[in-house]
Structure 1
Amino acid sequence: MTIAVSPEIALMEAELLRWVGSGDSLLELACLDALFPPGKLLRPVLCMESAKAVGGTAEQVLAFAAGIECLHVASLVHDDIIDQDPVRRGRASTAEQYGLAEALVAGDGLSMAGIAALLSSGPAERVLEATRVTVDALRRMCQGIMRETEIRGDLTCGVPTVLNILQAKTAALTGAACQAGAILAGATPQQHQALRRYGEQLGMAFQIRDDLLPYTAEDHVTGKTATSDVANLQPTLPVLLAYEAADEGDRNRLTAVFGGGTDPVTAHRNVLAVLTRTGALREAARMASASAEQARAELTGLPGSTQLAELATSSADRQR
C-alpha cells in the first residue's frame, strides 16, 4: 500500500518531531528511531483526509493526527517485544537496537507524547469528544492484543474469534482516526459516524491483507519477518480459514506446526502449502476486498472523500 508523498506528509513528519524531540536524550533517540523513517502514516492520513471530507483542513487536525501516530507506533514497539520480532519496517526493531528495557520506556514515552498532542489544540468540546473516541479505540486495541496472546497455538478458536481480534486490534483505531478528524472539523453526527464505519472497514481490509503478506510477499518488500506468526504459533485468519477447509491430512499438518517444535522456516513452508491447497489465500483476499468495498460505500454523500476511496482500494490490494 502506497500513500503518495504530499505537503501534508511533510507537515506530519515535522509535527512528529515537534512532539517527540530532536534526539537530545536516549529516550528521544529511541522514540525517533521507532518513528522514522515513517511507515505508511495511514492513521494520521485518515484523520486529515476525514477532516477534509467534511469541509475542514488538514492543518486543523495536524497535532491530533500526530498524536494518533505516536500512540500507534508505541503499540508497535510493544508488539515487537511481545512477539520477539527483531525486524520492523525492514530494519532492526527498537528492542533489537536499544534493548528491551529501553524499548519499553520508548513505547511509554511515545504514548505520553501522543496524549499530549491529542489534547493540544482545537475547540475544547471537540477535542474532548475526539479524544474520548480515540482512547476508547486504544482500550479496545489492548483487549484485542491480549486476546491474541490467549489463542496462540489454538487452531480451534474459530474464524469469528480472529475477526473480533482484528476489529479490536486494528479496525477500532483506524475508525477512530477517521471519526476524530471529522469531529474536530465540525462534522455532523451522521458524517462522523459514517467515517468511523468507513475507517473500521478499511482497517479490516488492511489487517486481513497484513495477515496474508507473510505468505504472498517477500521479507524485503514487507519489511517484516515472514516466519514471525508461525514462530509465535499465532493462528491468523488465513490459517483458520485453511483449518476449516482442510481435509484430515492437512489439518494434521497444521496441528503439528501449531503444536510447536517445528523450526520456523519449515513451519512456514508447510503452512503455505496448506493455505494454497485449501484456497485460504484466495478466500482471505476476497474478504479483504469485501471490506474495502463496504468502506467505499460508507463515503456516499461525502464529495471530498476521493482520497479516502482510493485508500480503501489500495488497502485491499497492497503488497507491503
Structure 2
Amino acid sequence: MSVAVTSADGTHIPLLEAELLRRVGSGDSLLELACLDALFPTGKLLRPVLCMESAESVGGTADQVLAFAAGIECLHVASLVHDDIIDQDPVRRGRASTIEQYGLAEALVAGDGLSMAGLAALLSCGPAEPVLHAARVTVDALRHMCQGLMRETEIRGDLTCGVPTVLDVMRAKTAALTGAACQAGAILAGAPPRQHQALRRYGEQLGMAFQIRDDLLPYTAEDRITGKTAISDVANLQPTLPVLLAYEAADETDRDRLTALFHGGTDPVTAHRDILAVLTRTGALAKAARMASTCAEQARAELTGLPRSTRLAELATSAADRQY
C-alpha cells in the first residue's frame, strides 16, 4: 500500500506520517492494511502535533518526542475505530469507516493492532525515567477516555442527564488525552513540573473547546465538510451539549418535541432537521460556541511564561473556531 507523505500544516505533519508508516508497516498483511486504512489519509493529527509543539514550547525538539507522538495518534485512531463500531457509523473522515470497509471482526482486530503499535511507540522514546512518566500520564488519560466512552453509552436517549454530565463525558473522552499529549511532550523535553502541569491544563481546556465545537458541527457545517454523517448523534439518540443546552432553555412545546425525538422511531433526517430548529430557537448553538471560546481563552492563559508558545496559542484559537 502506498501512502503519500505530504505536508498539510507545517513541518511536523510529514514527519509524523512517515513515523506512523514506520510503526504500522507497509500493508503486507490484512492487519497492516486495515490499520493503514484507519490512519491514512490522516486527520488533523491534533494530539501528536500538540505533543511536539509542547516539547518545543519548553525548549525541547520535535525529534525528541516523534515516536511518542506517533504512538498517541495510533492509540487515538484505535479509539475511533472502536467508536465507529459502537455507533455503527459507516463514514469516518469523509470515507468508509474501518468497520464498513473491512467488517466487524477485522475492525476490532485493527483497533487492537493500532493500540499495540501505539504502546510500543510510547515505550521506544528516549531515557527510561521520563518515558515511563510520560507513558503513565498517557495511559491514565486512556483509562479516563474509556470511562467517558462507557458513560456516553449509558446516557443515550436521556435528555435529563444534564449539562454537567455531558461536560464530564467530554473531559474524560477528549480532554484527558489532549492534556496528556501536551504534558507528555513537555515531560520528555525535560520541563519542570510547573511547566508540564500547566501544559496539561492547557491541553485539557483546548480539548474541551475542540469537543464542544465537534458537537456543534452536525448543526453548523455541511456533512461533506465534517467528514462524518451529520445525523450520527441523532440516529444514536446521543444527547450532546447543544441539545442539552436547548433542552434546559426550551419552552414546554420544544421540550416535548425533543423528548419525543429522543425516544426514537423518527427518521434521523427528519429528527436532525427538527432538533436544529429547536437549537436555533433556544440560542443553544450560540451558547455552546461561547463555551468553546471560553475554554480556548482559559487554555491560552495557561501558556503564560512558556518560552515559545505562539503556535500553541494559535491551536487553541483554531480549536474553538474550526468549521470542519
TM-score range, shorter chain: over 0.9
User: 1:31 and 2:35 equivalent?
Assistant: yes
Q: Could you say which residue in structure 1 is the equivalent of 2:169?
A: 165
Residues in 2 aligned to 1:61 and 1:112: alpha-carbon distance in whole angstroms: 18
User: Residue in 1 aligned with 2:310?
Assistant: 306
- Whole-Å Cα distance in 2 between the matches of residues 276 and 303 of structure 1? 42
- Structure-1-length-normalised TM-score: 0.99
Using the alignment, how far apart are the partners of 2:199 and 2:40 within structure 1? Answer: 28
Gaps of 5+ in 1: none
Q: CA deviation at 1:6?
A: 2.0
Superposition map of 1:117-156 within 5 A: 117-156=121-160
Letter in 2 for 1:241: L
Deviation at 1:42? 0.1
Please report how far the alpha carbon of residue 4 of structure 1 lies from its aligned counterpart in structure 2 after TM superposition. Answer: 5.1
The alpha carbon displacement at 1:5 in A equals: 2.1
1:81 counterpart residue number: 85
Shift of 1:8: 1.7
The aligned residue for residue 216 of structure 1 is 220
Inter-partner Cα distance in structure 2 for 1:120 and 1:298: 29
Give the structure 1 partner of residue 72 of structure 2: 68
Q: Is the 8 A contact 2:94 2:227 kept in 1?
A: yes
* 1:226 to partner: Cα distance: 0.4
Alpha-carbon distance, 1:123 to partner = 1.1
Q: Which residue type is aligned with residue 116 of structure 1?
A: A
The 1:194/1:4 distance shift into structure 2, 3 A limit, reads farther
Q: C-alpha separation between the residues in 1 aligned to 2:15 and 2:263?
A: 48
Paired amino acid for 1:174? T
Q: Which amino acid aligns with 1:42?
A: L
Instruction: Return the match for 2:51 from 26, 30, 47.
Output: 47
Are 1:19 and 2:12 counterparts? no
Q: Which whole-Å CA distance do the structure 2 matches of 1:50 and 1:71 have between them?
A: 19
CA distance in 2 between partners of 1:234 and 1:278 (Å) = 19
Other-structure match for 2:242: 238
Alpha-carbon distance in structure 1 between the residues aligned to 2:11 and 2:275: 43
Please give the TM-score of this superposition, normalised by the length of structure 2: 0.97
Structure 2: tracts of 5 or more residues without a match? 1-6
In structure 2, the partner of 1:279 is 283
- Count matched residues: 318
- Indicate the SS of the match to 1:120: coil
Q: Which amino acid aligns with 1:110?
A: L
Shift of 1:163: 0.2
Counterpart of 1:260 in 2: which secondary structure? Answer: coil
Give RMSD over aligned pairs: 0.7
Match of 2:4 in 1: none
Q: Match of 2:161, SS?
A: coil
Q: Percent identity?
A: 86
Could you say which residue in structure 1 is the equivalent of 2:3? none
Q: 1:103 aligns with which of 81, 85, 107?
A: 107
2:252 matched residue in structure 1: 248
Distance in 2 between residues matched to 1:55 and 1:25, nearest whole Å: 40
Q: Which amino acid aligns with 2:77?
A: V
**2:208 equivalent in structure 1:** 204
